[in-house]
Amino acid sequence: MKSLIIANWKMNPTSQDEAERMIIETERLESEGCEVVLCPPFVFLNKTTILKNVKVGAQNCSFDDAGPFTGEISPKMLKEMGVDYVILGHSERRSSFNEDDNIINRKVQQALRNGLSVILCVGETEKEREEGKTDDVLQRQLAKLNSNLIVAYEPVWAIGSGRSCDPKTAEKARLLIEKIAKPKRVIYGGSVNSSNAGDYISSFSGLLIGGSSLDIIEFGKILKVVQGV
Ligand code: PGA
């Protein structure tokens, strides 16, 4: 199975020209042996039609296919546009947009019904970790979900902080996730860079990369680490 490497650009970049340049540069990276999925903001998805080596994902979708939901983008629209993957339940959606497990579960079901591959993000906050609640959080976030998912273990305190999770601790979480949800695969995310990617790829079948995916040279270095070159 090829390693799954997700580039989550979040709300970057801020212009069509910059997005186009970054999409072309990502396409040119040596990625044989990996399945690379680029998740740009919705407004740049139209620029991804040039991609051949890289698959396309969205960073979110609605829980319904169509209707009176101002500002939403539906999984049906994404599928029709040629999008293959969608990230759901990212901690930034949970914390800044109040998405709870119920909403996230509805989104997951609707995305799966439309034939999208779902990357479901789970992980504990720093406080939950300090209180020894990591296992409970993972149990809760994965309850009621079917096994047809890619689960990204992303400790919230490691996202965008430069404080990546100790690989042994991350592996413990992976084993628990596999036991609870029997997912298609478990990937790791949270301050991944070319120096630590090797620590995670030995026990996870992929990586979810935020900040380091915006720096195309650094992203290329991570791909090299994953490919063992
Ligand atoms: P980061 O983001 O790599 O910048 O920590 C990870 C993510 O988007 O989940």
Our answer to whether residue 154 is catalytic in this structure is yes
**Number of the ligand 1 atom closest to the C-alpha atom of 10:** 8
Q: How many angstroms separate the alpha carbon of residue 37 from the centre of ligand 1?
A: 14
pLDDT in tens, 95-125: 999 999 999 999 999 999 999 999 999 999 9
Average pLDDT, stretch 129-146?
94
pLDDT band at 229 (very low <50, low <70, confident <90, very high): confident
pLDDT band at 40 (very low <50, low <70, confident <90, very high): very high
pLDDT score of 202 more than 90: yes
pLDDT in tens, 55-86: 999 999 999 999 999 999 999 999 999 999 99
Cβ(27)–Cβ(50) below 8 Å? yes
Question: How buried is 208 (Cβ within 10 angstroms: 0-12 exposed, 13-18 middle, 19+ buried)?
Answer: buried
Coil vs helix vs strand at 92: helix
State how far the Cα of 228 lies from the Cα of 220, in Å rounded to an integer: 12
Which residues lie below 8 Å from residue 94, measured CB to CB, with a gap of 6+? 100, 104
Cis, bond preceding 155 (omega within 30 deg of 0): no
pLDDT score of 144 more than 90: no
With the most atoms of ligand 1 within 8 angstroms of its CB, the residue from 38, 119, 192 to mutate is 192
User: Is there an atom of ligand 1 within 6 Å of 210 CB?
Assistant: yes
Cβ(116)–Cβ(61) below 8 Å? yes
State how far the Cα of 151 lies from the Cα of 120, in Å rounded to an integer: 5
Q: How many angstroms separate the alpha carbon of residue 129 from the centre of ligand 1?
A: 18
User: Is there an atom of ligand 1 within 6 Å of 209 CB?
Assistant: yes
Which residues lie below 8 Å from residue 46, measured CB to CB, with a gap of 6+? 81
User: Which residue, by CA, sits nearest to atom 2 of ligand 1?
Assistant: 210
> Among residues 90, 99, 128, 171, which one is catalytic?
90
User: Is there an atom of ligand 1 within 6 Å of 154 CB?
Assistant: yes
User: Is there an atom of ligand 1 within 6 Å of 222 CB?
Assistant: no
Q: Which percentage of the chain shows pLDDT scores above 90?
A: 97
Count other C-beta atoms under 10 Å from residue 200's C-beta: 24
Centroid of chain to Cα 144: 20
Our answer to whether residue 30 is catalytic in this structure is no
**Number of the ligand 1 atom closest to the C-alpha atom of 154:** 9
User: Looking at residue 146, what is its pLDDT?
Assistant: 75
User: Looking at residue 164, what is its pLDDT?
Assistant: 87
Picking from 144, 70, 134, 65, the residue whose alpha carbon sits closest to that of residue 100 is 144
Coil vs helix vs strand at 132: coil
User: Looking at residue 222, what is its pLDDT?
Assistant: 98
Instruction: Name the token pair of 216.
Output: 């195309």
